[in-house]
Structure 1
Amino acid sequence: MFVDREKELKILEKEYNHKNFRFCIIYGRRRVGKTALIQKFLSKKKGIYFLATLENEHLLLEKFKNIVADYFADEFLRKVTIGSFEELFLYIVQKNQKVTIVIDEFQYLAKVNPAIASIFQTICDNYLKSSNIFLILCGSIISLMYRETLAYSSPLYGRRTSNIKLSPLQFIYIDKFFPKKTKRELIEIYSILGGIPKYLEIFVDFGDIFAAIESNILDRNAFLYNEPYFLLQDEINEPTTYFSILEVIAAGEHKIGNIAKRLQKPVHNFTTSLQKLIDLEIIVKEVPITETNPQKSKKGLYFIKDQFLRFWFAFVFPFKSYLEMGNKEYVIKKIKESFDQFVSKTYEELAIDFVKEHFSLIRCGRWWSKNEEIDLVGIGDDYYLFGECKWQKRKVCMDVYQKLVHKSALIEYPQKKYILFSKSGFTQELIDFARNNPERLFLVEILDFIRF
């Protein structure tokens, strides 16, 4: 199923419509939909598509040559020997045609031949620069793609005319996969899978979310059972350290000192690993939203950004011994016991996105001090907005609002507003209070304003 990506398709169409040489880099994590985007783009136009694999360079060149021969219906090309990528691109340029050339999983070419970026620099400068060819290089290993194509040190630096970093789908598009699900159910699914199209497609045919988890994640033969190993194996050299860090963060340790203490190692042993995980957008370092110099703040906390990895390191990796013995029932029981608490983190993130969309704010995020924390603080031009999110089975009552007001006193500002998010609604007392104070308190059930 192809969903959204309208912005990315417009970029590709704009590049394609140029009359001179264009060069686009597409990169992003595995399963995010890069190949599907390319397929959609090429669906109404001809193009040369080549998928690189980890094999001998001469075999790769031979396969690429045969694809080019098919495109131009040239049996002679199929029979002759082509000695280099430069020769093959020269052949294409001499055809003097408008051609889109896609090399998918380009990072594997770079692994096979470390000089491939320099080779493509030569191809761009000597052959393609004066052509009307549209070249697309696409890859999944983010660190390698950045180093080989985007970094200042890369021979290809300055040659691209556009680049697309493909991110997971936003929550607003998840209902395209599950049109009959309620918004509550969509949030639960999103908290497990995030916006990765391939993962979402796997859950489509399951009614009960725990049955879907058991069949598609906890089963030893399931597609997602060992997915993080495949996701991270090309990005990191020492999985033991990284997996241990992610497991500890998923278990609730967010301060670097506490992470180091749990792993019984000095703090300086983890700074490089944490930065690597941040660069890969697997974790994120947050500081209180009111910090004036976030880069130098010593209040940073680390959270797993990727929803599926957050779930996997909370409920799969720690229970591998049970799952390998086929004891899925025990793990499902553990998941059910803390599922609302797990989903609440994603609900807080969606609430922050909701507030950013509906209020005029300079910035918005979480806030904490040594003894207190507030789920959401939005900083406006002339007011602060304070929010609390409750993903629980009971209605939110007046006491929750009063506690939020009390905590907000820790941040001095003359004009304050409040917003409460609830999975299960609000007591009538709180609804009546909000109705009588429409400029002070806003109520949001799931992700919809309660209107008065």
Structure 2
Amino acid sequence: MRRGAEADKPSRVYDRGSEWGALSSFVNRPLPHAMLGIVSGRRRMGKTYLLRALVERCGGFYFGATAGTEAESLRQFSAALAEHVGSPAPFSFATWDDAISYLFGLAVPGRRDSPFLVVVDEFPYLVKAAPELPSLIQRVIDRFQIEESGMRLLLCGSAMSVMGGLLASTAPLRGRAQLELVVRPFGYRAAADFWGVADEPELAARLHAVLGGTPAYRRQFLADDVPASMGDFDDWVCRTVLAPFSPLFREARYLLAEEADIRDTALYHSVLAAVAQGNTTRGGIAGYIGRKSVDISHPLNVLEDSHLLVREADVFRAGKSQYRITEPLITFYEAIMRPAWARLEGGQAAEVWARSAERFAAQVAGPHFEALCREYVLGPGRSLLGRSLGDVGSGVVTDSRERRQIQIDVAVVESGSGGGRPAVTLLGEAKWGTVMGTNHLERLERARELLAGRGLDTTRCGLACFSAAGFSDALRREAERGGVLLIGLDELYGRAMPTAVLP
């Protein structure tokens, strides 16, 4: 294995610089003992592509498991290992214990003078066939934490609930891993570059609202069928996502069915449909699907463990939270495709899409745009916050006098420390299809006033309006006077620089 692999990320591996750095650092760490790493992430994120590239660069043994019985899986592993070491005949291990012991024996001093990288991909398939595997690996890892070993073992999988459980609570491998890497979708800016649409922010935002940052969708699924312009977007949706012969047509269903802990897919689709249609609280979800709140705890937990659903706390109201679907394609499916499934299967994509404009704006693009704005403040727009390191989220401010609730789509809140008061450093509202005016600014000003009345420090609180449709002249004049930040699609995608408003 060559040293310095961390500087050798292949050019064909797009983005993933931090992931590559973490993996190559893990492999090359000069520790004379065995090391374990866990790599997870939903399907289509490019984990296998990344790990194969790592094995090619660093050398080592790669094994991709498949669904099968214990005997077949052990036979496949034995044959792959025999081929790796150059054995003229396949190995015939009687048990997984024998196979794991032999594998670790290849990394002992004297057998090699550099770390030995081993990647076991789709590890959940092996665990399903041989549940004792984590315990066997734990035993041999513990042994070679005392004895010298160059083993660098990476276990990888897409079943998020299974991979997350490997290091949880009383699991055998708990406390044994030196690396826990989750390969996530590309950020919205990286996704725009990957699809080649960064020069058209409106197209990039719409594309991301449908497919998110999943790299496999462009090349493996669509063979580089990219919308040529905003004028081509509607036709592109109809010929790809909504076309019954397209690989993307049933992809949202497959994403749900692939999770090991999901049995009653109808129930889980109902939960996701509830969230996609704006029922984002536990009570709202339960009411939509006709269940009691206590009865949906398990599906909510499973969807969270699968990284398909995330619970986001209200930054202004303790104990309150909302759920959000993390995979844009699932939101698109539940809001647009599932209600018209029979028509889509009958080839009526153009008719269905033509009648879905309002639903797409309200249930898909609008909520997605709000999430992009929070991602912007966390990442590319970080400099706007000055010295603030507060939590970025959303929340509701109750206005008792006006008998209304003010939804804050983007908020930055610093917890009090050393006896200081909690501070609000940014309040923002995001609109997808609305030209924002001074009435939106007045609502934010009122929220700031109310929060100050509740004892929060708002002396450094800036106000921000995020809009994909633009801003009125009156609002622009207010922004020119200072204290108000206007962020449109050009700013979100780095084609224009906003003026910082926070000290």
- Report the TM-score, using the length of structure 1 for normalisation: 0.89
Residue 365 of structure 2 corresponds to: 343
The alignment partner of 2:57 has SS state of coil
The 8 Å contact of residues 24 and 137 in structure 1, kept in 2 or not, is answered as yes
Matches within 5 A, 1:98-177: 98-126=115-143, 130-147=148-165, 149-177=166-194
The 8 Å contact of residues 160 and 307 in structure 2, kept in 1 or not, is answered as no
Q: What is the identity, as a one-letter code, of the residue corresponding to 1:374?
A: I
User: Shift of the alpha carbon at 1:414?
Assistant: 5.1
* CA distance in structure 2 between the partners assigned to 1:424 and 1:218 by the alignment: 26
The 8 Å contact of residues 86 and 123 in structure 1, kept in 2 or not, is answered as no
Residue 305 of structure 2 corresponds to: 279
Matches within 5 A, 1:329-408: 329-341=350-362, 342-356=364-378, 357=382, 358-359=384-385, 360-368=388-396, 369=398, 371-379=405-413, 384-392=425-433, 395-408=435-448
Deviations 1:371-409 (A, max 9, x none): 3312222235765422122222x6433333234323443
The alignment partner of 2:171 has SS state of coil
The 8 Å contact of residues 388 and 421 in structure 1, kept in 2 or not, is answered as yes
User: Shift of the alpha carbon at 1:180?
Assistant: 4.0
Residue 81 of structure 1 corresponds to: 92
Matches within 5 A, 1:2-151: 2-17=13-28, 18-20=30-32, 21-75=34-88, 77-78=89-90, 81-95=92-106, 96-97=111-112, 98-126=115-143, 130-147=148-165, 149-151=166-168
Deviations 1:39-87 (A, max 9, x none): 2212223221111111122222222222222222220x42x53222333
Residue 468 of structure 2 corresponds to: 423
Q: Are 2:340 and 1:319 equivalent residues in the alignment?
A: yes
The 8 Å contact of residues 365 and 376 in structure 1, kept in 2 or not, is answered as yes
The 8 Å contact of residues 124 and 159 in structure 2, kept in 1 or not, is answered as yes
Residue 256 of structure 2 corresponds to: 232
Residue 4 of structure 2 corresponds to: none
Change (3 A) 1:138 1:432: same
User: Shift of the alpha carbon at 1:135?
Assistant: 1.1
Q: Are 2:216 and 1:198 equivalent residues in the alignment?
A: yes
Q: Are 2:450 and 1:410 equivalent residues in the alignment?
A: yes
> How many residues end up aligned between the 2 structures?
441
Q: What is the identity, as a one-letter code, of the residue corresponding to 1:329?
A: A
Residue 263 of structure 1 corresponds to: 289
Q: What is the identity, as a one-letter code, of the residue corresponding to 1:441?
A: V
The 8 Å contact of residues 100 and 137 in structure 2, kept in 1 or not, is answered as no
Deviations 1:6-25 (A, max 9, x none): 22212221221135322111
The alignment partner of 1:244 has SS state of helix
* CA distance in structure 1 between the partners assigned to 2:122 and 2:161 by the alignment: 13
Deviations 1:74-108 (A, max 9, x none): 20x42x53222333344444451242211111111
CA RMSD of aligned residues (A): 2.5
* CA distance in structure 1 between the partners assigned to 2:292 and 2:169 by the alignment: 33
* CA distance in structure 2 between the partners assigned to 1:238 and 1:346 by the alignment: 27
Q: Mean Cα displacement is larger for which, 375-384 or 229-238?
A: 375-384
* CA distance in structure 2 between the partners assigned to 1:136 and 1:430 by the alignment: 53
User: Shift of the alpha carbon at 1:109?
Assistant: 0.7
User: Shift of the alpha carbon at 1:185?
Assistant: 1.5
Residue 417 of structure 2 corresponds to: none
The alignment partner of 1:410 has SS state of helix
* CA distance in structure 2 between the partners assigned to 1:339 and 1:280 by the alignment: 25
Deviations 1:272-310 (A, max 9, x none): 22222223222222343123xx4xx1x332222322211
Deviations 1:305-344 (A, max 9, x none): 3222111111122221222222212321233333333312
Which one of 213, 220, 224 corresponds to residue 244 of structure 2?
A: 220
Q: Mean Cα displacement is larger for which, 356-365 or 85-94?
A: 85-94
Change (3 A) 1:340 1:86: same
Q: What is the identity, as a one-letter code, of the residue corresponding to 2:254?
A: F
User: Shift of the alpha carbon at 1:127?
Assistant: 6.5
Change (3 A) 1:81 1:258: closer
The 8 Å contact of residues 48 and 100 in structure 1, kept in 2 or not, is answered as yes
The 8 Å contact of residues 124 and 163 in structure 2, kept in 1 or not, is answered as yes
Which segments of 5 or more consecutive residues in structure 1 lack a partner in the other structure?
Answer: none
Residue 184 of structure 1 corresponds to: 202
Change (3 A) 1:110 1:414: closer
Change (3 A) 1:414 1:134: closer
